[in-house]
Amino acid sequence: MRLICLSVCIVLAAQIFCPRQLAAEPTAPRSGARLDLSPATMKFSAPGERRTLVITNRGSAGTPVTVKPAPGSERFFEVSGEVSSSLGPGASARVEVVWRTPARSHGEPQAFGGLVVASADPRGSVDPGAPELRVQAVGLEGAPAGILLWIVFFPLLGIPILILLPRTQEAAARWLALGFSVVPFLLALVMLQRYDSSVSAEGGRDALLGAQMVFHRPWLTRLGVELYFGIDGASVLMVLLSTLVSVVAVGASWSVTQHVRGYLALFLLLEVGMAGTFVALDFFLFYVFWEVMLLPMYFLVGIWGGPRKEYAAIKFFLYTLFGSVLMLVALVALYYATPGGLLVDGSPVEHSFDLLRMAHEHADRFARSPLVLGFPFAKVMFVLLFVGFAVKVPVVPLHTWLPDAHVEAPTAISVILAGVLLKMGIYGMLRINFPLLPEATRWAAPGIALLGVVGMIYGALCAMAQRDLKRLVAYSSVSHMGYCLLGIAGLSQTGVTGAILQLFNHGTITSMLFLLVGVLYDRAHVRDLDAFGGLARELPRQALLFGLAFMASLGLPGLSGFIGEALVFLGAFPAFPLLVGLGALGLVLTAAYHLWAIQRIQLGPFDEARWGEGEHRLRGRDLSLRESLTLVPLALVVIALGVYPMPALSLVQTGVSDFLALVARTGVAEVAGLLP
């Protein structure tokens, strides 16, 4: 429904603000020419490779034909042959194209561009330089990377298979869903191995603007929408996190016994939305994947949740709908604030959704845009986007949907919600707010830092007041996301790097926490902290992992939760020393409620009468093999990154430098008058 609203908003805005831009184009000369371009997209596998474009006039009249590289393409592709000719009816021309050099000297060789074919074919777009002619575009793709497409869309292939399985084949459905989640994770490991952490946008001089493993092709040409996927320092760890947590969550879904096929089909659709959000470099595409996540999450909570599942699902939907509407308004406004240009294949467009081009080329234009209701355009757009993303983080006071959603959701969905979905709010701010609106980012940084510290302390205090173990872990997520807000608000290399690392580490740690909560609930069917005690003696394997996860969550040195928090405080202190000092109170409170929970659940006397015998006994029911297989990989990641975090740090540092270079552009801020 919201995608339909998006299309309607774009059309209405075009008619109101830019009525001539979508009006009918002038009629081309009625020459009867009709060109056949073969192939429509020229694909090259390696530099030095040659391809041939055949242009055939299938019409009834002759036409002049001119072929030239789209602006920027001549750096990578060389064109020769019949580049300027006159084609009579039935005649053909051949143009040779050579991929001369990759877009960058290091990393994987890639290049993208296009050929512009000008003729009298009335099916083309009007040539801005020669209105009597029309232009058609032919894409040039040098080694387009398909790995991100497979990571995003491979789970989609499993949905029809699950639907067609007989109802009695629930075991087969589970294994099938696991397979369709494992493959993207394995591909993410390949992606990680191929990722070159030295690649930089170089202040906009890099032809691919710092993106790697790029797939770039026009999609909805009329609206300027492209299938544009790529990864950089901000997204590489997030893709790995989403695929890893998805595998773990499918493994935790074995306890779901009702409507198994429907549950797993919705889960795979949710996985598509998560991965797509992290790799989309087109704003429209980003919004599509963002919305794709909401529908399956609503049903996964509303159908397979706890006693108050309908209330939790509707509350989640309404909050996210509110945030999405604000994002939609900002999307449309920024789209019409971009100037005309060319798509990757050379097709002329009035506006573009290209996030990297918006950041590197149009930030000045956003700063100079007219006032909106008396406020600077950049400020208004920043607030709309920030609130939209803040709902997902969630930032206090927009957090009240989270505890209800966590408590009522099945264990696996709580894992996904805390392990991946909450991270998308911070990621969206880094991907869109900061690079597109740098001057507003600097203006808003103190407020973001304050909200982060409020969230740290408020979330910790709420966690201390809980008797429900799952609700305690939910409020701990509110607190820990405050660290990430404080880190990005400092606008320092150390702070932003720590925030991104904290996103990944918190994703693995909180996944462990919710899995362990699910282990206890599946056996005892209660989550009351006062109901347990002495479990360490009866369930030693569970107690070991429980202690490891809780110690990592409170930030114990040597475990992964420590390094991200330390970098956040170090990076934010120069800009906000007072707020960092207040944030230290959050560390004390965090340690208090974590140790308190361990003491009440794992230590003390064991209730023999309640848990020693009977249907819900805990004695002798330690972790099963399946439960261990979901928890142990996460535990190994927590220990490994706690002892040696440099591999993860090196992945994000260059990307963080690129983001901060965009934010630090003083010329933009001076134009907007937002900085002293």
Looking at the structure, do residues 442 and 587 belong to the same domain, yes or no? yes
Looking at the structure, do residues 237 and 313 belong to the same domain, yes or no? yes
Helix (H, G, I), strand (E, B) or coil at 303: helix
Q: Are 201 and 210 within 8 A, CB to CB?
A: yes
Q: In the beta sheet, which residues pair with residue 212? A: 231
Give the DSSP H or E segment for 4. helix 2-17
Residue 668: its pLDDT value, please? Answer: 40
Crossing angle of helices 493-524 and 540-554, rounded to 10°: 150
- Report the largest interatomic distance among the alpha carbons of the chain, rounded to a whole angstrom: 95
Residue 509: its pLDDT value, please? Answer: 96
Q: How far apart are CA 96 and CA 463, in angstroms?
A: 66
Q: Are 386 and 224 within 8 A, CB to CB?
A: no
Residue 4: its pLDDT value, please? Answer: 45
Looking at the structure, do residues 573 and 520 belong to the same domain, yes or no? yes
Residue 28: its pLDDT value, please? Answer: 40
What is the b/e burial string over 440-472, where b = at least 16 CB atoms within 10 angstroms of the residue's CB? Answer: bbbbbbeebbbbbbbbbbbbbbbbbebebbbbb
Residue 33: its pLDDT value, please? Answer: 73
Tokens of 611: 């848990």
Can you say how many angstroms the Cα of residue 535 is from the centroid of all Cα atoms in its chain?
39
Residue 60: its pLDDT value, please? Answer: 83
User: Is residue 295 assigned to a domain?
Assistant: yes
> If you ran DSSP here, which 8-state letter would residue 606 be given?
-
Least Cα distance to 389 among 324, 439, 331 occurs for: 324
Residue 541: its pLDDT value, please? Answer: 93
Looking at the structure, do residues 87 and 205 belong to the same domain, yes or no? no
Backbone torsions φ then ψ of 122, nearest 5 degrees: -70, -10
Q: How far apart are CA 489 and CA 288, in angstroms?
A: 27
Looking at the structure, do residues 67 and 186 belong to the same domain, yes or no? no
Does residue 39 have a cis peptide bond before it, meaning omega lies within 30 degrees of 0? yes
Looking at the structure, do residues 416 and 273 belong to the same domain, yes or no? yes
Q: What is the total residue count of the chain?
A: 676
Q: How far apart are CA 125 and CA 121, in angstroms?
A: 9
Q: Are 96 and 82 within 8 A, CB to CB?
A: no
The count of structural domains within the chain is 2
Looking at the structure, do residues 376 and 406 belong to the same domain, yes or no? yes
User: Is residue 179 assigned to a domain?
Assistant: yes
Least Cα distance to 663 among 365, 428, 360 occurs for: 360
Residue 1: its pLDDT value, please? Answer: 47
**Phi-psi label, residue 227: left if phi above 0, alpha if psi -120 to 50, beta otherwise:** beta
Long-range contacts of 195-199 (CB under 8 A, 24+ apart): 195/231, 195/236, 195/651, 196/106, 196/107, 196/108, 197/233, 197/650, 197/651, 197/653, 197/654, 198/106, 198/107, 198/654, 199/104, 199/106, 199/107, 199/232, 199/654
User: Is residue 659 assigned to a domain?
Assistant: yes
Residue 157: its pLDDT value, please? Answer: 95
Write out the residue range of the structural domain in which residue 409 sits: 147-610+620-672
Q: How far apart are CA 77 and CA 140, in angstroms?
A: 8
Q: Which of 142, 160, 184 is the last residue of a domain?
A: 142
Looking at the structure, do residues 362 and 221 belong to the same domain, yes or no? yes
Looking at the structure, do residues 152 and 222 belong to the same domain, yes or no? yes
Residue 607: its pLDDT value, please? Answer: 80
Residue 24: its pLDDT value, please? Answer: 36
Q: How far apart are CA 659 and CA 431, in angstroms?
A: 8
Q: Are 199 and 107 within 8 A, CB to CB?
A: yes
Q: In the beta sheet, which residues pair with residue 67? A: 117
Q: Are 302 and 426 within 8 A, CB to CB?
A: no
> If you ran DSSP here, which 8-state letter would residue 375 be given?
B
Can you say how many angstroms the Cα of residue 287 is from the centroid of all Cα atoms in its chain?
10
Q: How far apart are CA 389 and CA 411, in angstroms?
A: 24
Looking at the structure, do residues 502 and 521 belong to the same domain, yes or no? yes
Q: How far apart are CA 129 and CA 119, in angstroms?
A: 12
Q: How far apart are CA 535 and CA 605, in angstroms?
A: 9
Tokens of 176: 């099938």
User: Is residue 522 assigned to a domain?
Assistant: yes
Tabulate helix, strand, coil % of the chain (nearest 5).
Answer: 60, 15, 25
| Rounded alpha-carbon distances, angstroms, from residue 284 to 271, 384, 389, 522, 649 | 19, 16, 16, 41, 30
pLDDT tens digits for range 599-629: 999 998 888 878 777 777 787 788 899 999 9
User: Is residue 28 assigned to a domain?
Assistant: no
Q: How far apart are CA 140 and CA 115, in angstroms?
A: 7
Residue 323: its pLDDT value, please? Answer: 93
Q: Which of 122, 142, 162 is the last residue of a domain?
A: 142
User: Is residue 406 assigned to a domain?
Assistant: yes
User: Is residue 18 assigned to a domain?
Assistant: no
Q: CATH no. for residue 70?
A: 2.60.40.10
Q: Which of 142, 176, 207 is the last residue of a domain?
A: 142
Looking at the structure, do residues 592 and 642 belong to the same domain, yes or no? yes
Q: Are 511 and 248 within 8 A, CB to CB?
A: yes
pLDDT tens digits for range 215-234: 999 999 888 999 999 999 99
User: Is residue 8 assigned to a domain?
Assistant: no
Looking at the structure, do residues 106 and 232 belong to the same domain, yes or no? no
Least Cα distance to 225 among 324, 343, 338, 125 occurs for: 343
Residues of the chain with pLDDT under 50: 1-31, 667-676
